A and B are shown apart, each in its own frame.
Chain A
Amino acid sequence: MRIGVVTFPGSLDDRDAARAVRVAGGEAVALWHGDADLHGVDAVVLPGGFSYGDYLRCGAIARFAPVMEPLIDAARGGLPVLGICNGFQVLCESHLLPGALIRNDHRKFVCRDQPLRVESTTTAWTSGYAAAQEIVIPLKNGEGGYVADQRTLDELEGEGRVVVRYLGDNPNGSYRDIAGITNARGNVVGLMPHPEHAVESLTGPSTDGLGFFTSVLEGLVRA
């Protein structure tokens, strides 16, 4: 199974995402922002970082990169897409996911090992987790506050589209402690925390993040 990892100028966690794909047993395929071609991959990860320097707004310029054109079409057609941190911001800017990510309420960058609860196991990226499973994976962002209007939030909750939620202290002011959401179809997931940093016990606080990558690989095998 081939999973593409997009590199924008300013992407930082692209190598980590590719490693996580490999650790999970998949083949990582490097995709370049300027190349409007997905090269036949079975799923795509939009990694963390500061694409295009996060100028204007986080993810606002990346959304117009050539690679996003086929990606947006494929995502609407059901291609599994995981946006992590900056990737989540790009997915919101692309309107593949509702809402937006704003500056943390305490106005500082925060890096910590974050306890989370998996709220939905019906997405392409979380099917391998147990319902309500509690996990710890790194969180690191300056603009990770998830916001949306009340109706959207109610809709997300009502349709079971909140994928992961922060446990304990809310680290960034996200509404309703939301750490990740999905689209109606469950193939596009946006996450503020970084599962790719929790795939090896040597370098991560846990290996709890591996499930995101094994979930999609298993789903692809079944399909």
Chain B
Amino acid sequence: MTIDTVELAAKTPDQPQPWDELGLKEDEYQRIRDILGRRPTNAELAMYSVMWSEHCSYKSSKVHLRQFGEKAPASDALLVGMGQNAGVVDIGHGYAVTFKIESHNHPSYVEPYQGAATGVGGIVRDILAMGARPVAVMDSLRFGPLEADDTHRVLPGVVAGVGGYGNCLGLPNIGGEVVFDPSYAANPLVNALCVGVMKHEDIHLANATGVGNKVVLFGARTGGDGIGGASILASESFDDSKPSKRPAVQVGDPFMEKVLIECCLELFEAQVVEAIQDLGAAGISCATSELASNGDGGMYVQLEKVLLRDPSLTPGEIMMSESQERMMGIVTPENLDAFLAITARWDVETAVIGEVTDTGRLIIDWHGETIVDVDPRTVAHDGPVYERPFERPAWQDELQAAGPDSLPRPSGGEELRDTLLRLLASPNLASKAWITDQYDRYVLGNTVLAQPEDAGVLRIDESTGLGVAIATDGNGRYAKLDPYTGAQLALAEAYRNVATTGARPLAVTDGLNFGSPEDPAVMWQFAEAIRGLADGCQALGTPVTGGNVSLYNQTGGTAILPTAIVGVLGVLDDVARRTPQGFRTSGQVIYLLGETRDEFGGSEWAWAEHGHLGGLPPSVDLAAERELADILVNASRDGLIDAAHDLSDGGLAIALTESVLRYGVGARVWVPDGLDPFVFLFSESQARAIVAVPRSEEVRFTDMCSARRFAHQRIGVVDDGGVLDVQGLFAVPLDQLRTAHESTLSSAFEA
């Protein structure tokens, strides 16, 4: 094998190079030549091609993402903002929480189990690299139609992968969502969120500083898996004409990752490591160039010292490999022995591969010959930035004009009851227990609430009861009708879900999943969604701390529904005060908070009953969301409510059913005067929740709502009759509700 060295590259400027196959555009290749003043070596070309890919460089999204910083609300809570492995939020008592969502969509379509598993593994390492102990995961999933054959290939594999990896890591899975829509048929979405906890003083940033400090690679050996995953899989649309991409998917080993977690936490605790960076997309190329350019600016690496699983790998492949469960550490020479003693104790293989320099160059040698000599900033930070053209598509007006008003609506008790039972059994509203029962929600012993609750709630500190709540939401149908409003509705719902449990919302992470940025209509959806989300975060006072962009989620000319998944983190000063979703105590009064309007555009009813998507999504009122959240948080703190459930997809009828089913009670409910029963039961108006109020607290509770001029209606009473009785319209026994709600997924996948 001839090694393509820097020296050789300088002498052979005209040697043809496979920039096209590596996913680079011609002008990008030319720019690399301009930066280097010569042609790149094969290893340099590999490095630039992955780091300048859409997945790593955010080249199409960067110009829009800036708004999250520009419009960020003033927040005392933010300790580390965007740009690091994950943002960090102060939750009080000296504790900090880091959380982030990341997509692994394309790999999960090609190889569902490994794609989803390594998606979990990657985000967990991001959290770990900040110095935090990972304490929980969540997953936000989108699939094609439930009945489609391919969904039966993709979904069980993805669920087994999320579970298989997360369960083996010992991280509770505390929530998420699952949505079915035809647009996700060949483009499933697998977004995984991880949350970690540390003390303020333990925050670590991934910077390579301190000339002479050692660069150490530890964890799994480097193999031939996942080569080009970022550039090839995640940065273009699928196309049948290209060869199988299976080898581009990484293979995970959760046992290795569990050991790596404990090992890294011990390294942090012993204070023998300056910085840790995880190896994810673009592997060593990414870790070395990012660590160097965020630090003193130089690094020298002897690539042959990397421990290999496959000795036949070329230097370029070693640099591009996305083998999982690897970390890169920066260690002072004095601490090296102590560092190696800890990795040895955990049987983690470790190699010192280089050191930090002040040359401003990232130099990588292979057996004494220099194969990379670049300014690391040009690789990690100065990638191309595109101002992609975007334009509101011509069909948008038509879509918005075709509202749901002409759809036949059920009337009378029997039709309303049948509608409820059908909606309860529809794939998007049906119980997801078949999926979530495959995830361990108990491990670590701090899970206070988990799915199907509105948000996952964790105890962080046993002595003070300090806790956090996290919810993810995203409604692609709303966003299709109006991407600006749709993104705000996703934010509003996650924010509301967190507040429903009694937690004060603090910060946001986002997973932005869209089609091809080369389509101006998709780019318009993307730009609008970001503008909406940034404005929304400003209005709610919750900054975006970090997140992920996944583009090219389309097959042929059809893009997925624009899907902005928003994760909101909140804090509970005393987690014992959390408000659960289920009604439990007979005699408690049910209040509906918020205004109910005739809003069915993009609703689950229009979709499930009529296959209709058109009109405008429900209107968003962020001031009302803030007020509602305040009420829910105060009511939880003061013990005024015993249960609360947010109203979202499917409206009040679905929320009521879920609240009575949770602990198997009954409820009598009446339709308030002047409200159409159908609108009352199924509208998806926002900024609403139902609560169960003990009679002893009723006056205090209604006084609080009145003082804040927030709409509240007494709509029912919890009883132990085992029936959901909507008085004057219909009564359904719990058994019947439960069968409708719980059979859909199990019968689809157990057949």
- Write the residues of chain A forming the contact surface with B, with a CB cutoff of 8 angstroms: 9-10, 12-13, 15-16, 19-20, 34, 48-50, 52-55, 106, 108-112, 138, 140, 142, 194, 196-197, 200, 202-204
Please provide the 7 A-B residue pairs with the shortest distance between their CB atoms, ordered closest to farther.
A53-B255, A12-B170, A16-B445, A197-B442, A138-B442, A140-B440, A109-B438
Of residues 254 to 275 in B, which have CB atoms within 8 Å of A's CB atoms?
A: 254-256, 258-259, 262
A sample of 11 inter-chain contacts (CB < 8 A) reads A9-B262, A9-B346, A16-B444, A53-B254, A109-B163, A111-B438, A111-B441, A197-B443, A202-B575, A202-B576, A203-B447
Complex: how many Å from CA A15 to CA B442?
12
Which residues 159-174 in B have Cβ within 8 Å of A in the complex? 160, 163-164, 167-170
Q: Which residues of A contact B438 (CB under 8 A)?
A: 108-111
Chain A positions within 8 Å of B259 at CB level: 9-10
Give the contacting residue for A55; candidates B255, B345, B441, B445; CB below 8 A.
Answer: B255
Given the known A-B contacts A111-B439, A197-B442, are A203 and B459 also in contact in the complex, defined by CB atoms under 8 Å? yes
Chain A residues with CB below 8 A from B258, complex form:
9-10, 12, 50
Is the pair A194, B163 in contact by a Cβ cutoff of 8 Å? no
Bound together, the chains give a CA A16 to CA B170 distance in angstroms of 11
Contact in complex: B437, A13 (CB < 8 Å): no
Query: Whole-angstrom distance between the alpha carbons of A138 and B446 in the complex?
Result: 14
The answer to whether B459 and A12 touch across the interface, beta carbons within 8 angstroms, is: no
Which among B347, B439, B576 is the interface contact of A9 at CB below 8 angstroms? Answer: B347
Q: A9-B347, A111-B442, A204-B442 are in contact. List 9 more A-B contacts (CB 8 A).
A: A10-B259, A12-B169, A50-B168, A50-B254, A53-B168, A55-B255, A109-B439, A138-B442, A203-B459
Cβ–Cβ contact A202 & B255, under 8 A = no
Cβ of B444: which chain A residues have Cβ within 8 Å of it?
Answer: 15-16
Give chain B's interface residues, CB within 8 Å of chain A.
160, 163-164, 167-170, 253-256, 258-259, 262, 345-347, 436-448, 459, 575-576, 750
A110/B437 in contact, CB under 8 A? yes
| A-side contacts of B346, CB under 8 Å | 9
Residues on B with beta carbons closer than 8 Å to the beta carbon of A106: 750
Contacts of A111 in B (CB 8 A): 436-442
Q: Are B459 and A202 in contact (CB under 8 A)?
A: yes
A140 and B442 contact, Cβ closer than 8 Å, known pairs A10-B168, A203-B448: yes
How many whole Å from B519's CB to the nearest CB in chain A? 39
**Docked-complex contact B160 and A108, CB < 8 angstroms:** yes
Give the nearest-CB partner of B168 in chain A. Answer: A50
| In the bound complex, CA of A50 to CA of B164 (Å) | 11
Decide yes or no: A9 and B167 within 8 Å by CB, A203-B445, A203-B459 being known contacts. Answer: no
Note all chain B residues with C-beta closer than 8 A to A194: 442
State whether A19 touches B445 (Cβ < 8 A).
yes
Contacts of A16 in B (CB 8 A): 442-445
A2 to chain B, nearest CB (A): 20
CA of A4 to CA of B688, assembled, Å: 50
Bound-state Cα–Cα, A55 to B259, Å: 14
Q: Closest residue of chain A to B445, judged by CB?
A: A16
- Chain A residues closer than 8 Å to B437, beta-carbon distance: 110-112
Q: Nearest Cβ in chain B — how far from A155, in angstroms?
A: 33
Query: Would B164 and A202 count as touching, CB distance under 8 A?
Result: no
Contact B170 A203 (CB under 8 A): no
Min CB distance B357 to A, Å, is: 36
Contact: A10 with B576, CB < 8 Å? Answer: no
| Smallest beta-carbon distance B310→chain A, Å | 20
Residues of A contacting B256 in the complex (Cβ-Cβ under 8 angstroms): 53
Give, as a whole number of angstroms, the nearest-CB distance from B403 to chain A. Answer: 42
Indicate if the CB atoms of A202 and B448 lie closer than 8 Å: yes
With A and B bound together, what is the CA distance between A203 and B160 in angstroms?
25
Give the residues in chain B near A203, CB-CB below 8 Å: 442, 445-448, 459
B595 to chain A, nearest CB (A): 35
Query: Nearest Cβ in chain B — how far from A85, in angstroms?
Result: 10
* Chain A residues in 8 Å Cβ range of B439: 109, 111
- Chain A residue numbers with a CB within 8 Å of B347 are 9
How far is the CB of A42 from the nearest CB of chain B, in Å? Answer: 22
Of all chain A residues, the one with the shortest Cβ separation from B167 is A109
Tell me how far the C-beta of B443 lies from the nearest C-beta in chain A, rounded to whole angstroms.
Answer: 5
B255 near A10 with CB under 8 A, answer yes
A residues within 8 A CB of B170? 12-13, 49
A9–B344 CA distance with the chains assembled, in angstroms: 13
**Cα distance A203–B580 in the bound complex, in angstroms:** 12
Cα(A48)–Cα(B443), bound, Å: 9
- The closest CB in chain B to the CB of A201 belongs to B576
Q: A55 to chain B: closest CB distance in Å?
A: 7
Contact partners of B448 in chain A: CB under 8 A: 202-203
In the complex, chain B residues whose CB is within 8 Å of the CB of A140: 167, 440, 442-443
Q: Is B443 a contact of A13 with CB atoms below 8 Å?
A: yes
CB contacts (< 8 Å) of B442 on chain A: these are 16, 111, 138, 140, 194, 197, 203-204
Which residue on chain A has the smallest CB distance to residue B450?
A: A111
Contact B445 A52 (CB under 8 A): no
> Which A residues touch B443, using CB under 8 A?
12-13, 16, 48, 140, 197
Residues of A within 8 A of B255 (CB): 9-10, 50, 52-55
B452 to chain A, nearest CB (A): 13
Find the A residue at minimum CB distance from B465: A202
Nearest-CB residue, chain A, relative to B462:
A19
Bound CA–CA A12/B445 (angstroms): 11
Are A196 and B445 neighbours in the complex by a CB distance under 8 Å?
A: yes
Provide the bound-state CA to CA distance between A9 and B441, in Å: 21
CB distance from B271 to the nearest CB of A (A): 21
Indicate the member of B170, B256, B262, B441 with the most A CB atoms within 10 Å: B170
Most chain B CB atoms below 10 A, which of A12, A34, A106: A12
Return the chain B residue nearest A12 by Cβ: B170
CB distance from A20 to the nearest CB of B (A): 8
Check A197/B164 contact, CB under 8 A, given A49-B170, A110-B437.
no
**Closest Cβ of chain B: how far from A166's Cβ, in Å?**
15
B690 to chain A, nearest CB (A): 24
A198 to B253, CA, bound (A): 30
CA distance A204 to B172 in the complex (A): 13
A142 cross-chain contacts in B, Cβ below 8 A: 167
* Chain A, Cβ-Cβ closest to B348: A9
Closest residue of chain B to A48 (Cβ to Cβ) is B443
Q: How far is the CA of A140 from the CA of B440 in the complex (A)?
A: 6
Residue of B nearest to A110 (CB): B437
Q: Name the A residues within 8 Å of B253 (CB-CB).
A: 53
Residue of A nearest to B438 (CB): A109
CB distance from B196 to the nearest CB of A (A): 15
Whole-angstrom CA separation of A150 from B334 in the bound complex: 62
| Closest chain B CB from A203 CB (angstroms) | 6
CA distance in complex: A16, B380 (Å): 41
List B contacts of A12 (CB < 8 A).
168-170, 258, 443
Q: Which residues of chain B are within 8 angstroms of A138 by Cβ–Cβ distance?
A: 442
Q: Please indicate the chain B residues that have their CB under 8 angstroms from the CB of A197 in the complex.
A: 442-443, 445
Which residue from chain A places its CB closest to the CB of B262 in the assembled complex? A9
User: Which residue of chain B is the closest to A200 with respect to CB atoms?
Assistant: B445
